[in-house]
């Protein structure tokens, strides 16, 4: 069993390389791909472009989550490999000690105790020798127990390493699938936009801005800002300072700085600057971080957008947030209500 376990571990070492649905109850399903109809109007193109970029955002979250898990699994495989190596050396030493003890007992224990006493010139010396033999037998028994435990540990380490390797491979496939989906959706959106004349692209951008302005105006008209009066904590101020300092840097899917960001890459790194390590993706931020009522929101909190929690921005106060919008856009300041709000989470509660 031990040899097989060690062989399995060696394989792992060689292969591992360098080291509003509620997401808490069930995973968020990706939108089903469909073949888009040819848009007839600029408004149709706007809807189709938004749909494609939204699907790219969902796939980006899936990619980032698989990447985060793969990093943890690689670290765990390295740790298990070190434990396996230490265990292998320990087992080798224990086997040598057990062999030496067995040889010693064979040399001294081949004659019955009564005969040894009768032939002994010094009965007291015999008694002392017999006592040492008894102690040696107890030590040997303990040594055999330690051998068994060490062998079991090695088998457990090898099994765990194999399981981690399987998970690592599964996440590699998830990353590859998500990456393909991201590229396809972004390419489709860019192709639609590229077919437009320059004045049509300007009008398309204006449609996008008008839709966001309309949503923000409706949000403000609800009187929500009269209720939101929370103040940023010291950690929140550091997160805001970091996020606003990235304004103008490009959105790149899967990026978390320093030169480019995706939406959750920006918010997670902002809170690293604030002294908190938070989940890497917007969906995991929504799932794992404490939720706050919008009226209790304070600067530094994260606003989660869309029913599938596929986008996130960092609230900076006065009804505004900073976010990395989508491919082709830069990190920017925008209205906190300019997109459908799913909820608010607080990293430093």
Cα gap 1→169, rounded to integer Å: 25
Give the three-state DSSP class for 320: strand
Q: What are phi and psi of 342, to 5 degrees?
A: -85, -40
- Rounded distance between C-alpha atoms, residue 254 and residue 179, angstroms: 9
d(CA 74, CA 77): 5
**Distance separating alpha carbons of residues 123 and 174, to the nearest angstrom:** 76
User: Catalytic pick from 8, 46, 54, 323?
Assistant: 323
Using DSSP bridges, classify how beta strands 302-305 and 341-345 pair: parallel, antiparallel or unpaired.
antiparallel
Bridge-based pairing state of the strands 311-317 and 291-292: unpaired
- Is residue 54 part of the annotated active site? The answer reads no
Instruction: Based on the residue annotation, tell me whether 263 is a catalytic residue of this protein.
Output: yes
Is 46 part of the annotated catalytic residue set? Answer: no
Choice among 8, 46, 54, 263 that is catalytic: 263
Alpha carbon of residue 248 to chain centroid: 27
CA–CA gap between residue 27 and residue 85 (Å, rounded): 38
CB-based contacts of 48: which residues, under 8 Å, 6+ apart?
A: 36, 39, 189, 192
Catalytic-role residue among 8, 46, 54, 311: 311
Q: Which residues are catalytic?
A: 263, 311, 323
């Amino acid at each position: 069993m031990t040899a097989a376990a060690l062989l399995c571990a060696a394989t792992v070492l060689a292969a591992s390389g360098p080291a509003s649905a509620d997401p808490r109850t069930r995973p968020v399903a990706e939108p089903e791909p469909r073949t888009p109809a040819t848009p007839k109007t600029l408004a149709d193109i706007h809807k189709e472009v938004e749909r494609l970029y939204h699907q790219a955002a969902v796939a980006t979250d899936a990619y980032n989550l698989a990447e985060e898990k793969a990093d943890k699994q690689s670290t765990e495989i390295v740790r298990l490999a070190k434990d396996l190596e230490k265990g292998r050396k320990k087992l080798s030493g224990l086997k040598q000690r057990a062999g030496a003890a067995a040889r010693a007992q064979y040399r001294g224990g081949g004659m019955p105790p009564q005969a040894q006493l009768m032939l002994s010139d010094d009965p007291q010396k015999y008694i002392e020798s017999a006592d040492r033999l008894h102690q040696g037998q107890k030590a040997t028994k303990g040594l055999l127990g330690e051998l068994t435990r060490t062998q079991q540990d090695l088998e457990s380490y090898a099994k765990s390493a194999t399981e981690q390797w399987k998970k690592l491979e599964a996440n590699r496939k998830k990353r590859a699938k998500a990456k393909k989906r991201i590229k396809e959706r972004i390419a489709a959106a860019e192709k639609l936009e590229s077919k437009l004349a320059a004045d049509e692209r300007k009008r398309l951008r204006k449609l996008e801005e008008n839709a966001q302005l309309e949503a923000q105006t409706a949000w403000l008209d609800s009187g929500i800002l009269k209720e939101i009066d929370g103040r940023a904590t010291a950690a929140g101020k550091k997160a805001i300072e970091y996020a606003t300092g990235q304004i103008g840097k490009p959105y790149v899917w899967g990026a978390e700085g320093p030169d480019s960001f995706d939406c959750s890459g920006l918010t997670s790194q902002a809170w690293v600057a604030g002294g908190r390590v938070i989940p890497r993706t917007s969906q995991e931020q929504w799932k794992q971080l404490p939720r706050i009522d919008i009226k209790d929101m304070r600067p530094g909190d994260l606003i989660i957008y869309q029913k599938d929690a596929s986008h996130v921005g960092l609230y900076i106060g006065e009804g505004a947030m900073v976010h990395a919008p989508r491919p082709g856009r830069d990190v920017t300041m925008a209205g906190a209500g300019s997109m459908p709000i799913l909820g608010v989470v607080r990293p430093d509660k």
